[in-house]
Structures are given as structure tokens and as C-alpha cells.
Structure 1
């Protein structure tokens, strides 16, 4: 199935790495035509690894359904070619280093002055103003700057979130902004400039610990696989050494958990555990009581009790577990190295997912696109 809701929308993207390619990949999946402008040596994400039949996992994930055009934008003919594409585009995206797109002659304000309906999108590390605006930024650096590292890990030390969460947050934020801008253009006939930064996209996600600290004086802890303000809500091992995550959300569930899972109904009224605040304050004693019950049980025996009691839980999956998870959806993607099966989209339309387009080889569409835009001899 292809829900081509953005059919007829032309997107030109001078992009690299993760954040901007995430945005343009979602537009491509919705039916937009996306022309990806790569430097002659290619988007450096092509070289992050070579584990997917010789292709990069990042590149395969984020570049399906696009056209690859190689341009050396230091050259006048290449800049003229890009200008011709932008003149016909609905959306122009860029995530080059701070100031680079302006120096090349494609400042978003200038483009929009010439092309009234154009939506321009700039994705940066720290935004277009403020003292950090000229800094380069990459995902892990922003995890640190945004305070995410301070709330991620264990009491023994901080940890990196295991995926490029700042890049993804910026790409997701930009995606919703572009859709909003396209909707507004239908009403006004005018485009607009969209500015998204990794720092601000992730800082928005950090509002709960921010508000707790600024207004409540609470310094967030790094609780590992436990919730910082709800208990029990975390990981517990069975006697087989395999862990399950469980979550108690209210006092009714807590009483049910004590009676049907722990089979110790008296714990529900214990003064140490009578409210969520008391359980959080006495977490070591709470965890010890749960561990004592779970010690002789396997993980699947614990899961059976949790299911019978209708307590929310999740197994802690390895990547091997994920690769064969019974709830997975899959999509087959054509790549230069052959077909690849990847995890499917998180979205279904009327019960079906969009079919992903092919991943382009480096410069695969350069000649055809230049000829189409009548710039091969410019």
C-alpha cells in the first residue's frame, strides 16, 4: 500500500547524517519526491558502518525512497543546478554546519524572498540565535548539553541513550513543523521558514525533570531501569537470571499486585508501602520484598502471574530477541546491494503500512535530475 498524500510535493534536501534525513525520509514515505543532494564523496552516514550487505545501517534506514544527486556546491555550475531545483521546490531542507548554506548563496531568507511559496527548513545543533548558535553539534554532545545524560544511567555513572535520540527528536519535530507549514500554505499561499535544533527539540522532552527541579527543588536521579518517581516500576529478575519490567500506576493495582502476584496481600497496607510516595522513599525495602518472592520463579512464571493479575509488564529484550519478536512488523527495502528486510513503520493507514521506496546508490540520479532541470550545461 502507498498512501501518497504528499504526491506532487517536491523536496530538495542538502542533508547529511541523521536529523535532516529523518525528516526527508518521512516526507518521501508519504509520497513526496525527495531529491537528496550529496557531496561528491557522499553523505558521510554512508560510511558509518558496512554491516547491511556492505551498506550502512543508518543510511538504509533513513534514505529509502529518495533520489541521490551528487553536487560539489563549491562549483558555480553545481550551485546553479541547485538553484534551479529550489526554484521548483515546495520544501528546501538543509543541515550543513552553521553558516555554510548562507555562504553558498542559499540563505533561507533570500530564497523565500524570491520564492513566495517555498518552505525552508534549517536543522542545526543549537538554533539560529543565542551564544551557542555557531557551534557544531552531534547527537552525543547534545545528550550531554541538554541534561539528558544527567538523568540517564545508574547511580554509578551516566550512559548514552542507545540510539541517536537527539537527532531523531529534531527530525520528528521538523517533520511535524513541515506538515503544519504545508497546511498553512494551503490557506495563505505563502511558505515560511522552519528552524529546528537538536538542543531545543530534546530540551522540550526534558521538561519533566526541568520542572521538577526548578519548581520542586528535586535533583533527578539516575535510577537505571527503575522509574524515578513511581514504585514499583522497574526491572526485577527471576531465579533464572532473566529480567522483567513491571509497572504499578495506582493503589488499586498495588493491592492487586500484592495479592495476586506476590501473594502477600498484607504488604498493600504496610506503612512503608501504603502510598506511592512511601514506596519510592523505601524503595530498597520494597525491592527486597519483591525479589524474595521472585527468587524461586522463572521469568515466564512471573510473567504468567502478572498477566493473570492484569499488571503491565515487559520482558527485557536483547537485540537477538527483538530480531525475532512476535509483535514485529517488517518491510522489504531495495538497496544497491540487494533487498533488505527491516523493521516496519510505526504507522498504519487503514490497517496497512506504506511501502518504502528503494535506497539510492551514490549519485544514481545525478544525470537524470540535471537534465530534467535543464542545468547540465549551465
Structure 2
């Protein structure tokens, strides 16, 4: 697949939907050989081709029915040569299949098993399954959110990123002590992700929070219909430059505390001033003054951004579709080897199995 830094690492994935596939796509992009084991009807996200393509390039697909003894035997034969198993079942499912992490560790002592679930392998809600939004709510991420539901599944993505960290840590640690079972809880990940916010609450101290109370931290609409972001958070010099450019120089001397105490009033004044200007002109002027600001791109516009183009974030797949590469550069170079998304059961024969009949 690829000759990246994880070349030679073999990953078997039993994880469907979002967090696990995101994690294994990153691992595959970095050079690991990833085989996803799908149910005979396929990962449910295959019904959304664009979503499936976005998460499952550069992998192999094997179709198995793990509820059958032959299917379990076939999986075990795959694990004999694997370094990592990532699974996304609810806790208890692997045990009922005779494939508990403890059993797998006995049979495959060097195997790193990473379990990704909504609430982790312990606790009263361990067997509950939840979607991203439910976990966001329980983790407090929606408390104080200005616009409600976000546009990306934060719990899924954060758990996927921590799963990658778990894989790499487990691979490093096994040199000294063998394999490991890494428990990745979406809820835990989101709570940990808010360390600064939670730390202030635990210490009963006021924190700046996010977004900051600053009036010039947010999205503003300009007169040409374009939107800009301003991101001034405690920078008095930037605030003074912003006020000067917008004709609000009499307010430029306000301190951070004064701005925060008058945030609503000042935000209204900023909105009025920006509504009389063109977005490109505003951004050009403010950037020259060192003020943190930027365009609000629509999704179709993102890949026309000169910086995004310069970083070569787009990949052209053999199928003619386009995808987004993993974001890491090694010695200044992107890892771009990127075979297409596999068909269901496309690689069964590599393991001596018949396509879609592997368990029979």
C-alpha cells in the first residue's frame, strides 16, 4: 500500500461507522497494512458512498460473519500475522463471540487491541451505544454553545485520533512488555479534550472559556455578503489596530477587561462597521496591521485557498474521485500513496476465502 513510517505494521479492523474507520485510515495513510473485516452485508456507511470513501481509502476488505465458528476461525488466522486489532463493538460483544481481549492476549501475546466505544469498557453505561451528539451533550461540550449542533462529529473524530495515539503507544510499549488492551471511550476523550475548561470548574476559578468573551472574537458579516472571522483574545495592540481601521479609534484604548465587560455593546458596533465594508478589503487591511482575521470559506471554496493548495491536501484517487490526505508531513514530504476504497470482500481471496462466502 504505502512505504510510510508505519510500513510493516499489520492492522485488522472490526470497527465500523466513524471513529474506528477514521483511525485506521490515518494508520493506512502512514503506511500500515489495514484490513477491515466487514459483516457480509458490509459496513452500514457503504449506503453513503461519499462518506465511506472519505474514511476507508487505502484498506483491504474481507467479509466475514463473526457469529459463526468458521468466521471466528478465519479472523483468528488473520490475527496470527497482525500487530493491531481495532474494534468498535459495544463492550461484551467480543466476549460473546469468544474473542474477548483477555482471550486474544493469551493467544496473541504481542497483539495491541484497541477498543473504541461510546462509554468505555467499564462503568454503569458501558454497554450503551450512542451517537456523536449524545456523547457531546453528556461531555458538556454543548453547554454554552452559541449555535447548538456543530458541523463535524467531534466525539467521533476525537476518539479516532486518540485511538491512533493508543495504537502507536501500544506498539512502542510492546517492545518491553508485550501487547496491550487500550480502552478508548468517546465520552472520556471529549471530557479530557476540555481540560482547561474543566480545570477552571474543578478549582472554582473563573477561566477565559471558549469562545472568549472578547467582542472581537467571532464571525461577522460584511457589506458584500461575505463573512470574516476576528480572533482577538487579550491582544490590546490588535484591538487598537482593529478600531483604528474601522473608524472606532476612540475605543482602541480599552483593556481586555473593559472589552469583556462591554462585549455585547462593542460587538454591535463592530458588526455595524464591518457591514459597511467589503470582506476582501477588510481582511487585507487587518492582515497588514497584524490583526488575527480571515475569510469564512464555504466548503466548495476551501480547496481554492492558496495555502491549502500549497500544502497539497487533495488526493486524486484511481476511481476519479478526490479525497483529503492525512495532514502530517515527514521531512517536508506528504505521504500521498492512496489506493482507492475497496469493494466489499474484495480481498477475501488473499486470505484463502471466497468473496462474501468466507464463513461457510
TM-score by length of 2: 0.90
Q: Distance in 2 between matches of 1:148 and 1:6?
A: 33
Aligned residues: 352
Find the residue that maps to 2:269 and give its secondary structure. Answer: helix
Is 1:191 paired with 2:179?
A: yes
The answer to whether the 8 Å contact 2:25/2:57 transfers is yes
Q: 1:294 aligns with which of 274, 299, 304?
A: 274
Within 1, Cα distance between the matches of 2:232 and 2:29?
38
Shift of 1:168: 0.8
Q: 1:318, CA displacement in angstroms? A: 1.4
Shift of 1:160: 1.6
Structure 1: gaps of 5 or more residues:
50-55
**1:150 paired to 2:143:** yes
Distance 1:364 1:253 in 2: 56
Aligned match of 1:58 in 51, 56, 65? 51
Match of 2:130, SS state, is coil
Question: Which position in structure 2 is the counterpart of 1:17?
Answer: 17
Match of residue 341 from structure 1 = 322
Residues 1:105 and 2:90 are matched in the alignment = no
User: Which residue in 2 is equivalent to 1:257?
Assistant: 242
**Structure 1 residue matching 2:77: 3-state secondary structure:** helix
Partner of 1:166: 155
Report how far residue 161 of structure 1 moved.
1.6
Query: CA distance change for structure 1 residues 275 and 3 in 2, over 3 Å: closer, same or farther?
Result: farther
1:229 aligns with 2:213: yes
Tell me by how many angstroms 1:132 deviates: 1.1
Is residue 119 from structure 1 mapped to residue 112 from structure 2 by the alignment?
yes
1:220 deviates by 9.6
Residue 370 in 1 paired to residue 358 in 2?
A: no
Unpaired segments ≥5 residues, structure 2: none
- Cα deviation, 1:69-106, whole Å, max 9, x if unaligned, reads 00011111111111111122111111012311111111
Match of 1:53 in 2: none
Find the aligned partners of 1:101 and 1:58 in 2 and give their Cα distance: 26
* Equivalent-residue separation in structure 1 for 2:300 and 2:12 (angstroms): 37
The answer on whether the counterparts of 1:213 and 1:220 sit within 8 Å (CA) in structure 2 is no
Deviation at 1:189, TM superposition (A): 5.0
Matched, 1:77 2:70: yes
The structural deviation recorded for 1:357 is: 2.5
Q: Mark the CA change 1:114 to 1:264 in structure 2 (over 3 Å): closer, same or farther.
A: same
2:341 maps to 359
TM-score normalised to the size of structure 1? 0.86
Q: Which moved more, 1:96-105 or 1:235-244?
A: 235-244
SS of the aligned residue for 1:153 comes to: coil
CA RMSD, Structure 1 to Structure 2 (Å): 2.4
Tell me if structure 2 keeps the 8 A contact 1:2–1:353.
no
Q: Aligned partners of 1:216 and 1:133: how far apart in 2?
A: 30
Q: What is the CA–CA distance in structure 1 between the aligned matches of 2:158 and 2:70, rounded to whole Å?
A: 35
Distance change >3 Å, CA 91–CA 106, structure 1 → 2: same
For the residues of structure 2 that align with 1:344 and 1:178, how far apart are their CA atoms? 20
- Partners of 2:14 and 2:173 lie apart in 1 by 24
Partner in structure 1 of residue 225 of structure 2: 241
Contact 2:139–2:191 at 8 Å: present in 1 too?
Answer: yes
1:237–1:295 Cα contact (<8 Å) kept: yes
Matched, 1:6 2:6: yes
Query: Match of 2:38?
Result: 38
CA distance in 1, matches of 2:23, 2:326: 14
Instruction: Determine the C-alpha separation between the residues in 2 that align with 1:120 and 1:239.
Output: 54
Q: CA deviation at 1:371?
A: 5.3
| Partner Cα distance (1:105, 1:342) in 2 | 37
Deviations 1:112-136 (A, max 9, x none): 1222211111111101111111111
Q: Deviations over 1:322-363 (max 9, x none)?
A: 2533333211123xxx22112333222223221223210001
